Structure 1
Amino acid sequence: MLPTETGHPLTGLPGNVAGVRADRLMAILFLLQQREHVTAADVARELEISERTARRDLDALAMAGVPLYSVQGRGGGWRLVGGARTDLSGLTAGEARALFLVAGPASAATPAVKAALRKLVQALPEPFRRQAQAAASSLVMDPQRWGSDQVERRSPRFLDELQDAVIHGVQVRLGYIDSKGAETRRTVHPLGIVAKGPAWYLVAHTETGRRTFRIDRVSSVEATGDPVHRPGDFDLAGSWREIADEVDRRRTPLSIQAVCAPDGLSRLRMILGSRLEVGGSRPDGRIEVAIRGYNEYALAGELAGLVEWLEVTGPSGVRDRMAAIGRALLERYG
């Protein structure tokens, strides 16, 4: 378990792309409310996207539990169950929750999506508004993976139960297996769910303070029925940024200084992600950067392949190791 105790899961897309898709999903829903039915061609024409993308988005809404069905054959298309209705009075609580989840976390939404979500909340029947708002703020997607982990994202066993606990605001009795294989049980106050690369985390308040649990290590979940004590100023996205920054610092305690050619900066961003900090420009046009890593040996090996764009200026230990790598490469391949 990490000191804090340790991509949108329904869309499977990076954060910036997920925001664009959320805009489309909300637009498709409102289009369905305005018409008796729509076809993929109608959606494609209205939103200026391909028919293939339109069909994929319509399928995503239906699979998420939005009351939507397809009509086959001539004159077919997609319809809302019960016909078009702008007040959404036919939505069940679960369907309303699913809609907000598939639209994307409110904390990461674009201004257009936030405006659409506010309108949708006002259109929902009163009993469903709280759960819909909770669903919109219960999830954060952080597409940046820890290190070079390329494992495929899979939904862990107790994800749905913990999502329900967050949305309904109830405490749970949590069974948890730490990184050493020891199992513990404790009562926690679920505050939010985070998808970090392929991994899922529960952010919760415990008797020892705020903690983060890897959901694939959860061995049991039992709702107690007692209400969650949620701090009034709690923000899931902000809390996760603090957690992720602290974990990154612990995982990559060494920081080196370097200068980068402007045309190599995008490559460094792609390879290093959040471990790269960009500074100001030098008179020769090169850009000052700081890069975090595990140790001198690991960083030297990683950065040796970027020598075309990057010059390490310090510390000297990393420079010496990179020089040794260069001599070894020259001796073997020279």
Structure 2
Amino acid sequence: MRADRLVATLLFLQTRGQVTAAEVAAELEVSERTARRDLEALALAGVPVYARRGRGGGWSLVGGARTDLSGLTAAETRALFLLAGPSAVTPELRTALRKLVRALPAPLRPGAEAAAGAAVADGTDWTRAPADPGGPLSAALQRAVLDGVQVRLGYAAPGRPAGERTVHPLGLVAKAGARYLVAGTDRGPRTFRLDRIVSAEPTGEPAVRPEGFDLTALWRTLAGEMEERLSAATVRARAEPAAEPLLRRLFGGLLRVTGRPPDGGPLEIEVDGPAPQAVASRLAGLGSRVEVLAPPEARAHLARLAADLTARYGPPPQDGP
């Protein structure tokens, strides 16, 4: 018997005052027998629920008793619906939001409904490609985290063939439009992008969670290690001032302007990246607006890239007759 279903039953009962097993079954999309069993379970658990037999009867809370299951303030309620409203892309989440609206005290409902309609989530980017939904196995991984079971994971890291490993799911994290599974492995905690997971099979064995586990603290540690790897190399260059907005869009916080001549001359910049070649490849798209100064391997990479392009497309056309 799922505890979340019992909570939903109690919320429904509080909202309606009196309900029948058939009404609970319709609301929660379960059989009438299951609904009746859940109502009886609430009574056995000490919740003041009683059944009145006969015509016009049903299940009620003794004396109109209420149980505060949320403790939400008005501001917290609006924040919750503003966050969850545009993300309610699954039937389960939409149903949960509807139930929560009905369970809220009357003064909080207008604010919650307004917040739920105050944002929109578009499932595609500007190229019309679908945004990362976390992969088709997102629901299975979420269940594995909540149930605390190990998973045999098929994972395809960039540039490598897919491989399998058994992991201990610890939590799910969303960052910058991508979703990650945080899991324990034989090499310590690791992160796995959900859209690179090709299979996820629960083993039935219990997952091991570190003592005093804190997902937020662990994610900060793992994210810090990733950021260090992504900024392991620094490329120095000169750039036309007009190219600065594009450079900032390309590199964000990885770009630093170290010199800005007062006469409007070229900017002196530094750009961090995982390797000099990776940074140079991205700078190549700006053409002559950027001149890479160091390190030598970045300049050599650009020279090879220029030679490859010339061999493919030929020298640039000459102006004039």
What TM-score do you get using the length of structure 1 for normalisation? 0.47
- Which of the two has higher C-alpha Rg? 2
The structure whose RCO (Cα within 8 Å, separation 6+) is larger is 1
